Structure 1
Amino acid sequence: MSNGHLEAIRNLMKVRGGICRGEIIADTVRSSKHFTVLLEGLACMTTRHEDGARQIYAFHHPGDFLGLHGLLHPKSTEHIEVEALSNCSIGTIDRDILEQTMQRHPVVGRALWRASMIEASIFRQRLVMARWPAVQRVAHLLCEQLFRLGPDNRVIPLNQIEVADTVGLSIVHTNRSFQDLRRLGVLSEKRCIEVVDTKRLKEIAVFDSRYLDPSEFLSRWDLHIEG
């Protein structure tokens, strides 16, 4: 989107700060009337199993729309929440107002559709990873986060519990995977998750970033918003 379109969206937002780590920012039950955008901080899309275990589907970074799939598929029965993993600030936009904006500016609707496609691609990738070896699962998630954070970042702002809840491993098994990656010279010995050999990490993960950037095939689509 152009700077003009981005500014138009910003002008529609009601900004809210002071969101603390652990707070539920949005969910599929209460968020049907507005869109929510993460402006600062880190958040995750999550659900709870019957035994109380947390399953993390995806991580959200500044600029992401939160729980977008729930707004595009409002009849979904699965209760999914967006949880703050750090102190955050958000912007909310009334759904009806944003839909009117998309009718006037189809490029905005195209951007939302692209974001929802990336979200769906991440979900599919989680399913593909389910039967991979533990070290490859962890390495792939770290590669994904490096891609999202940008080329100048080497420190991934997650902890091992959050990684475990995403890749479907116990915390013990996840810790062993981190130890293996350190022995391979991929991660530093620091307490934080710092990648020191990105090329080797990608090789271990067999990482292909195309699922995070569907612009090649979406560029051939012509999106129309019907009133």
Structure 2
Amino acid sequence: MDSAKRFTVLLDGVACFSTQHEDGARQIYAFHYPGDFLGLHGFVFPRSVEFSEVQALTSCSIGTIDRDALEQAMQRHPALGRALWRAALTEVSIFRQRLVVSRRPALQRVAYLLCEQLVRLGDDERVIPLTQIDVADAAGLSVVHINRVFQELRQLGVLSKQRLIEVVNKDRLHELAAFDPGYLDPGEALSQWDLHIEN
């Protein structure tokens, strides 16, 4: 799909933004949930050379909008343009935070990643619809290492004993991660901006 001409939104399912390395290893940069824009960078920077891709992790449904139609809609409804800009800033914040957290010990890195997913999914959600392999590829860990980390999180009473990733002690998870969710929301001030482009 030509991201320069089409704008894509995930309607249902879970997807990720990832790169496949020459050795076959996958690096996941971000996870996408229903309502997320897919390949937003391709819309904001249509001429950029991109070696990453959006990959479905479950059965997914998407919606597409013609670029010209979207630009016309943004002219009629400035709030739509602000929402698009806010989504782009959030995506960049997630990439930046992934770099910051990548230097931390494995347990804290995984805990931080799980905290991020809970925020993205909503306050009441406890089950994270990812596999251990997905988390390993996002945290830059081997499958063996991620298995040890999950065992430790279960021993600490953070995760349930189930095979699915179910958080049973969110406060303890936040404490282990030293989690600060501020990067996931650029702030309310953004919605109050009036943007003007001068010739």
**TM-score normalised to structure 2 length:** 0.95
1:144 aligns to what SS in structure 2? helix
For residue 104 of structure 1, the aligned residue among 53, 59, 76 is 76
Q: How does 1:8-19 map to 2 (within 5 A)?
A: none
Match of 1:81 among 45, 49, 53: 53
Gap runs ≥5 in structure 2: none
Percent identical: 70
Q: 2:135 aligns with which of 159, 163, 166?
A: 163
Amino acid at match of 1:153: E
**Alignment partner of 1:222 is 2:194:** yes
How many aligned residue pairs are there? 199
5+ residue gaps, structure 1: 1-25
1:109/1:223 contact within 8 Å kept = no
Do structure 1's residue 192 and structure 2's residue 161 form an aligned pair?
A: no
- What letter matches 1:87 in structure 2? S
Q: Which residue is 2:87 aligned to? A: 115
> Take 1:78 and 1:94, find their aligned partners in 2: how far apart are those partners?
20
Cα distance between partner residues in 2 of 1:138 and 1:36: 29
Matched, 1:55 2:55: no
In structure 2, the CA distance between the partners of 1:115 and 1:208, relative to structure 1 (3 Å rule), is same
Which of residues 146, 154, 158 is equivalent to 1:182?
154
Instruction: Indicate which of 94, 117, 122 corresponds to 2:66.
Output: 94
Q: Is the 8 A contact 2:5 2:67 kept in 1?
A: yes
Matched, 1:67 2:46: no
The Cα shift of 1:82 comes to 0.8
Cα displacement string for residues 59-111 of structure 1 (whole angstroms, at most 9, x for unaligned residues) = 11111110101211223223221111111111100001101111111111000
Superposition CA RMSD, Å: 1.6
After superposing the two structures, state which structure 1 stretch, 113-122 or 208-217, moved more.
208-217
- How far, CA to CA, are the matches of 2:185 and 2:197 in structure 1? 23
Under a length normalisation based on structure 1, what TM-score does the superposition of the two structures give? 0.84
Does 2:181 match 1:209?
yes
